[in-house]
Amino acid sequence: MDFFIDFLKNNFENCIWLAVILVSMCPLLESKIAIPLAMNTAIWGSGAFQPITALLIAFIGNIIPCYAILLISRKMKNKTAGFLTSNFINKYSRKSFEIENKYSNIKKYLALTGFVAVPLPLTGIWSGSLIAGLTNLNINYCLISIIAGAFISASAITLLCTIFSNSTMEILMISIIIIIAFLIIDLIFSFKSKIKKIRSK
């Protein structure tokens, strides 16, 4: 814990905004970690950002990779002729199929917004953009939907950090622990499903 705080102070004390942007651009971390980090007085002292500033900087950093992910995943989907969706990221392709085929036109984009808006691990800009890229939905409308979801998510996290303003360090650490726990659980389930497939053969 002390190593984490010292690393941030030594490298980003004079440019906190850069640390917030870089963290918010990272998959899994995004604004879920960037906002409590930006508002954390235990790390930055009096230099910690106010809620609105933290929200805006984390939101801007969060949406920077969005369009690129959309374009890359759409191109990969077209170039790989189904390999990507059948073997590489099954769970994301299932979600993209659900959004594309189980909803009416307006609900498709609302479902995408809702998915990105939930501030949990494995949701957010990266997952939402990847899922949208694996569909045949209009990229521009997808972009608007994802940005709206990202703003809702960032606002919810900012509200949480504002209400519990004396516990932003705890919120930050709990968020990191939840992300790690989700990753471990996801790896366990993926491993089990692979074993089942091998046994069934």
Exposure on the CB side of residue 145, measured as CA atoms within 13 A: 25
Q: Rounded to whole angstroms, how far apart are CA atoms 3 and 47?
A: 19
Q: What share of the chain is helix, strand, coil (3-state, %, to 5)?
A: 85, 0, 15
**Nearest to 171, CA basis, from 32, 45, 43:** 32
Q: Where are the domains of the chain?
A: 2-62+153-200, 66-151
Lowest mean pLDDT among 2-6, 31-35, 41-45, 141-145: 2-6
Q: What is the pLDDT of residues 71-103, one digit of tens each?
A: 888 887 766 554 444 444 555 666 666 666 666
User: Residue 118 is encoded by which pair of tokens?
Assistant: 């939930």
Q: Rounded to whole angstroms, how far apart are CA atoms 183 and 23?
A: 18
Q: What is the pLDDT of residues 148-183, one digit of tens each?
A: 999 999 999 999 888 887 777 888 888 888 888 877
Q: How far is CA 165 from the centre of its chain?
A: 23
Q: What is the pLDDT of residues 182-198, one digit of tens each?
A: 778 877 877 777 777 67
Average pLDDT, the chain: 82
pLDDT of residue 181: 83
**Nearest to 159, CA basis, from 55, 57, 58:** 55
Q: Rounded to whole angstroms, how far apart are CA atoms 113 and 148?
A: 6
Cα Dmax for the chain: 61
